[in-house]
Amino acid sequence: MRPVIPYVTAALLFGLGVYGVLRRRNAVLVLMAVELMLNAVNLILVTADTTVRAALPHSGQVFALFVIVLAAAEIGVGLAIVLQLYRLRASVTVDDVPLTEAPVGVAADRGEGAT
pLDDT score of 56: 67
Interval 29-66: pLDDT, tens:
888 999 999 999 999 888 888 887 766 677 778 888 88
Cα distance between residue 48 and residue 69, in whole Å: 20
Q: 27 with 42: CB under 8 angstroms?
A: no
Q: Which CATH number fits domain 4-94: 1.10.287.3510, 3.40.50.1100, 3.40.50.720, 3.40.50.1970?
A: 1.10.287.3510
Cα distance between residue 46 and residue 22, in whole Å: 27
Interval 66-101: pLDDT, tens:
888 988 898 899 888 888 888 877 777 877 776 777
User: Per-residue pLDDT averaged across 2-22, rounded?
Assistant: 92
Q: 18 with 37: CB under 8 angstroms?
A: yes
What would the DSSP string read from start to end of 23-86? H--BHHHHHHHHHHHHHHHHHHHHHHHHHS--SSTTHHHHHHHHHHHHHHHHHHHHHHHHHHHH
Q: What is the pTM of this model?
A: 0.73
pLDDT score of 40: 93
**Sequence ranges of the domains in the chain:** 4-94
Q: What is the DSSP letter of 101?
A: P
- Residue 71: closest CA among 36, 43, 47: 36
